[in-house]
Structure 1
Amino acid sequence: MATTSRASTLLSRLREHVERRPTATAYTFLDDDVEVQRTMTFADLGAAVQTVAANLLARLRPGDRALLLLPEGLDFVPIFLGCLQAGVIAVPAYPPSPVQSRLRVETLRAIVKDCQPDAVVASAPEDVIAEIKDVVPEMAGVWWASSDTLTTTPVDDPIEELPDPERIAFLQYTSGSTSMPKGVVVPHAALVHNEELIRKSMEHDEDLTTVGWLPLFHDMGLIGIVLNPIWLGGQGVLMAPRSFIKRPARWLWAISRYGGTTSGAPNFAFDMCTRRIRDSEIEGLDLSSLRVAFNGAEPVRAQTLHAFGRRFAPYGLDTGALYACYGLAEATLLVTGTRVGTKPQEIIVDTDALQHGKVVLSQTGRTLVSSGFPRIDREVLIVDPDTHEPLDSDHVGEIWIGGPGLPTGYWGNPGASNRTFAAEPTTGGTGPCMRSGDLGFLHRGELYVTGRIKDVIILGGKNHYPQDIEDTAEEAHASIRTGCVASFSVVDDDAERVVVVVGAGGAALGSSEAGTRKRGNIVKAVRAAVATDHGITVDDVVITGPNAVPKTSSGKVQRGRCRAAYLAGEFAHTEKRQKESP
């Protein structure tokens, strides 16, 4: 299929599919048994989008904001696209369910305060909506509309006019992994550019079938799984995140049963599949249709790729389908990706040199996985974050992103927008650039991501990346749950000290003698492992339940919030190193 990034909007592409292939299935939503719960053809979708747009414009004006508090399901797709058709700025957000979740309520209140929505679209019983209004009183006076009403109320005239590509399509709130979320302003043109970048990088065509469980308001789930089939005319197969979390095998069965060609998730999800899926759960599984299994949104671990490949190759998985990539909300989504059909490049670098910002290849040290290279006029620079001077290859610096088709800033925050989206390197000639806040380097033209600037732990003049400490701690004891470890530093007596928070199984949390003994064993194992692998003394080890470790909607650990909770004394079991101990 000859697809170009010069197509005007995603909606114009949808109209093409409605005219050419009206009865083709656009989306399928699965239940917890991986059976079809609901389908939607392109004709169904096109009609629903027009209905939603007309009903929105009966109450709103173009440029108004509509907060979408929709659970997983196919209601989200026509509501989101209906907003785009109406010129109403869509604001996908995480429904605060349960409303007792302090973290989710705080996040939603921050989003509401930031974007000041003119409407809220929800799909929930009246008692639940009343609870949400109670915990987020800022939304009490806003017009609330149900998704059923917007999609089923008859309208007289369809909205024929397509939006200007330069107009704002939606606000994409950041994950809040290092700070409170900010609303990235995504114009239609930026959305189209990234969908084409995904197509080019992952070699997608009309035969595309994406399979996903990520939240639909999350950038990877929305841009990579939900919207890319509209750009290509393929099919999206969707399931609820809780279906995967409760039983990871459901994700692989969805790929197997429905011929998924592309799917993906953050690194932790691949680990969960490798560790938690039993052989008895996947008898007859066939992953041979999968051409791209993208791994992004957090540092990609070589060990994860190797283990996943070994485990599922007997079930038809082509290990060349394992695809490492790098992206972020501020870039709409994708920035770089590896080559389809080829395992991502790996290099081993000297750990001590890396801690001082230099890349020295070595026989032993830290193994890093390439996140690939940019395509279609996307640019990647490595820049000193303090001086803004571009750095040579094989030097660690901040990842800056340039080229056309980027978001334009943060909603209502000109100061942060200027700092992040209007960066200029000292040498000039390239810019403005978007500052990612991530650290990395270029080696032979490929990008290697090493961590977040805000998360780096500096001890004795050396940079230690928290994900490396977390990986070590996670492997230190069998009771520590996958993806439930956070490491960070705190200042105590004018010295930077290292804290590791680990989510462990229930046997380690009780007040019994056995629970106390298990916690002690976990603490000793974590301290010994981190000291051995990194030469670091862990000053405090926190043992908590897996669900008590703050995470984003996509499952990334929120180190900043974890640190704040630690300083506020919200964790029950802490084991501080005695200062007089050697």
Structure 2
Amino acid sequence: MNVVVPDYPTVMHALVAQAERGSDGSRMTVVPEPGRMETRRYDEVLEDALRCAAVLAEHGVGRGDRVLFCLPTSWTFVTAFFGCQLLGAAPTAIAVPTSFGRAAGFDGQVKELVAYLRPAAVVARAAVVEASEAVADTVFIDGDELLERAASAEASLRQFRLPSEDELAFVQCTSGSTGRPKGVMISHANLAANLMQSAVATGWSAEDTTVSWLPLYHDMGLMSGIMVPTYTGSDTVLMPPTQFLRSPVEWLRNISAMGGTLAAAPNFAYGYTADRVRDSDLANVDLSSWRMAFCGAEPIHPGTIERFVDRFQQWGLRQDVFMPCYGMAEATLTITMSPHNAPVRVDTIDRTAAGTHGQVIDVEPDDPNGMQVVACGAAVVGTEVRVVDGDGNPLGDNQIGDIQFRSPARTIGYFGLPQETAAAIAEPDWWKTGDVGYLRDGEIRITGRSKDLIIIRGANYFPSDFEQAVESVPGVRLGTVVAVGHRPEDGDSEELHLIVESYVPADQQEPLRQAVRSAVSAKTGVPVAQVHLVPRRSIPKTTSGKLQRAKARQLFIENPASSPA
């Protein structure tokens, strides 16, 4: 295994080095709304961060503290995040509540995480600050007031000490798709290792420009939007996620206008963009500068990739732009990455052999029992990946099992949760990802999560297989299908239940249920016990958009009386 040697010991060393380039340096751009761009060089970013550090210090934040950020994509977020790190404190970013008031503001996730992380300060929007209660040893700071105070002449450029590699760089809260969020502790050594791994794997350099709409509280958004650009000294353009969701063409327009070369998104976003953008929206758009489209964070569907490329090829999009990848917060981010500009590799395997026997048997692409799996690349430099059986014994190629990795970028553990940390480690230092898949020619394929397997009459099934079949039915909202197994009290085996968000009127719901049953039966041969049609935005998701299958099962199947109307 090759060893990764970072160019800089910490991202703060990198920020100082980029700032020293002065007017020759690269730039960060925030696009708060279409047509308005706020651009700053790295030396200006560093100066702003120093001023923010001074103001945070006035509020009592110091080395070793934790600071909770509840801010939208903005200059306040960028400069305060860096300012926090310049003080030797560890920032944690979370989603801004979509509505405010006691239940949805402070009394929701913010209050829970304050109790868990015990931060010295919470930097948030005014509405969250106003809804907060007095908490011992925690100061609540209005983000706008922080930035205004930092910009004032009275804010001194605080002397700072560059952090050491063993200090915490940040705490990343897991999405909670399989349980309560955990605080993943990432040291500066972890961060520098993964930033270097990402740069080597992609050829990311100062000549690149990334354009990102991903939320900065998500590991993919934080790393691809801020951290890797800072480490490599490249340009970056940041859009709020709400801007992308309202009008995905803005993402493409910014890539065109800024000469974007790199962009990352989950699978759903590429399908969403292909479906929502009209030809009339694309006047003067040129996507020929885009050399790599990273795709990860959720199962990758070959059809989505093909549809996106076909849709935008006439606007200059390269056929080989996609780079499927695999990562997780516990690895800082990146674990595997596909080769540069190579065709996306897709296996079609027998679903019965995979689900029941853990074997990979190739079948023809049009085989009715075929299941498509996308290759997510080989381990990045310095990282090792293996697949093991239930007893922890390594498996060979084409055998499905539990995926583990080890890497210098691996987390040092979950904050305040030593038992959970120990349970996630397989001796000597392999981390259990909770994902299931197989290796072929050194590249990993993900087939599902171990906790999500549906077992019907002794046969194992992957939820994504059922969910993809349902999404092909007109009237079903894309990305809003949950397949779960549920064993009735008097049953001997799990039954297949589908929870489906739909926009059809009441008189069309029964025909839709029948269409869903037919689609799943035709695709998988598995009978559907029940189709639960629910209103839009009913299915619980994590802040990063992942479906929460366990919570959906509890809401709509185990305790339907308490489910939302």
Task: Report the TM-score range of the alignment, normalised by the length of the smaller protein.
Answer: over 0.9
Does residue 423 of the first structure (1) align with residue 426 of the second (2)?
Answer: yes
Structure 2 counterparts to residues 109-508 of structure 1, below 5 A = 109-122=111-124, 124-125=125-126, 127-131=127-131, 133=132, 137=133, 139=135, 142-147=138-143, 148-149=145-146, 151-153=150-152, 154-156=154-156, 158-355=158-355, 356-363=357-364, 364=367, 365-384=370-389, 386-420=390-424, 422-424=425-427, 431-476=428-473, 478-493=474-489, 494=491, 495-505=493-503, 508=504
Deviations 1:44-79 (A, max 9, x none): 111011112222233123111111111121211111
Does residue 549 of the first structure (1) align with residue 549 of the second (2)?
Answer: no
Taking the aligned partners of 1:5 and 1:209, their CA distance within structure 2 comes to 21
Deviations 1:286-334 (A, max 9, x none): 1101011011000111111111111111110002111100001111101
SS at match of 2:446: strand
Taking the aligned partners of 1:103 and 1:520, their CA distance within structure 2 comes to 34
Please report the TM-score for the alignment, with normalisation by the length of structure 1: 0.90
Paired residues of 2:26 and 2:233 also in contact (CA < 8 A) = no
Taking the aligned partners of 1:239 and 1:481, their CA distance within structure 2 comes to 25
Taking the aligned partners of 1:435 and 1:100, their CA distance within structure 2 comes to 39
SS at match of 2:20: helix
Taking the aligned partners of 1:107 and 1:166, their CA distance within structure 2 comes to 29
Deviations 1:422-450 (A, max 9, x none): 312xxxxxx31111000010011110001
Question: Shift of residue 550 of structure 1?
Answer: 1.4
Please tell me the residue identity of whatever aligns with 1:210: T
Please tell me the residue identity of whatever aligns with 1:99: F
Paired residues of 2:15 and 2:231 also in contact (CA < 8 A) = yes
Please tell me the residue identity of whatever aligns with 1:74: W
Paired residues of 2:129 and 2:142 also in contact (CA < 8 A) = no
SS at match of 2:159: coil
Taking the aligned partners of 1:119 and 1:454, their CA distance within structure 2 comes to 35
Taking the aligned partners of 2:372 and 2:99, their CA distance within structure 1 comes to 40
Please report the TM-score for the alignment, with normalisation by the length of structure 2: 0.93
Please tell me the residue identity of whatever aligns with 1:70: L
Paired residues of 1:109 and 1:138 also in contact (CA < 8 A) = no
SS at match of 2:378: coil
Does residue 568 of the first structure (1) align with residue 559 of the second (2)?
Answer: yes
Where in structure 2 are there 5+ consecutive unaligned residues?
none
Taking the aligned partners of 1:95 and 1:377, their CA distance within structure 2 comes to 35
Deviations 1:258-303 (A, max 9, x none): 1111001110001111222222222332110101101100011111
Structure 1 range deviating more: 105-114 or 364-373: 105-114
Paired residues of 1:110 and 1:180 also in contact (CA < 8 A) = no
Taking the aligned partners of 2:112 and 2:142, their CA distance within structure 1 comes to 23
SS at match of 2:531: strand
Paired residues of 2:538 and 2:564 also in contact (CA < 8 A) = no
Paired residues of 1:110 and 1:181 also in contact (CA < 8 A) = no
Please tell me the residue identity of whatever aligns with 1:479: G
Please tell me the residue identity of whatever aligns with 1:152: A
Match of 1:108 among 93, 98, 110: 110
Please tell me the residue identity of whatever aligns with 1:387: D
With over 3 angstroms needed to count, the CA separation of the structure-2 counterparts of 1:340 and 1:102, relative to structure 1, is farther
| Cross-structure match for 1:427 | none
Structure 2 counterparts to residues 38-57 of structure 1, below 5 A = 38-57=38-57
SS at match of 1:75: helix
SS at match of 1:172: strand
Does residue 535 of the first structure (1) align with residue 525 of the second (2)?
Answer: yes
Match of 1:559 among 538, 549, 552: 549
Structure 1 range deviating more: 276-285 or 304-313: 276-285
Structure 1 range deviating more: 434-443 or 95-104: 95-104
Please tell me the residue identity of whatever aligns with 1:486: V
Paired residues of 2:261 and 2:290 also in contact (CA < 8 A) = yes
With over 3 angstroms needed to count, the CA separation of the structure-2 counterparts of 1:246 and 1:140, relative to structure 1, is farther
Where in structure 1 are there 5+ consecutive unaligned residues?
425-430, 509-514, 574-582
Question: Shift of residue 98 of structure 1?
Answer: 0.7
Structure 1 range deviating more: 149-158 or 4-13: 149-158
Deviations 1:313-356 (A, max 9, x none): 11100021111000011111010010111122111111111112
Taking the aligned partners of 1:116 and 1:6, their CA distance within structure 2 comes to 33
SS at match of 1:129: helix
Taking the aligned partners of 1:354 and 1:361, their CA distance within structure 2 comes to 10
Question: Shift of residue 498 of structure 1?
Answer: 1.9
| Cross-structure match for 1:578 | none
Taking the aligned partners of 2:102 and 2:387, their CA distance within structure 1 comes to 39
Taking the aligned partners of 1:138 and 1:366, their CA distance within structure 2 comes to 53
Taking the aligned partners of 1:362 and 1:278, their CA distance within structure 2 comes to 37
With over 3 angstroms needed to count, the CA separation of the structure-2 counterparts of 1:562 and 1:139, relative to structure 1, is farther
Question: Shift of residue 403 of structure 1?
Answer: 2.8
Question: Shift of residue 139 of structure 1?
Answer: 4.8
Deviations 1:403-436 (A, max 9, x none): 323110000000001111x312xxxxxx311110
SS at match of 1:557: coil
SS at match of 1:368: strand
Structure 1 range deviating more: 37-46 or 228-237: 37-46
Please tell me the residue identity of whatever aligns with 1:119: A
SS at match of 1:546: coil
SS at match of 1:319: coil
Paired residues of 1:54 and 1:155 also in contact (CA < 8 A) = yes
Taking the aligned partners of 1:468 and 1:532, their CA distance within structure 2 comes to 12
| Cross-structure match for 1:577 | none
Please tell me the residue identity of whatever aligns with 1:541: V
Paired residues of 1:94 and 1:108 also in contact (CA < 8 A) = no
With over 3 angstroms needed to count, the CA separation of the structure-2 counterparts of 1:284 and 1:156, relative to structure 1, is closer
Taking the aligned partners of 1:140 and 1:482, their CA distance within structure 2 comes to 44
SS at match of 1:538: coil
Percent identity (aligned):
32
Taking the aligned partners of 2:65 and 2:319, their CA distance within structure 1 comes to 46
Question: Shift of residue 101 of structure 1?
Answer: 10
Please tell me the residue identity of whatever aligns with 1:568: N
| Cross-structure match for 1:579 | none
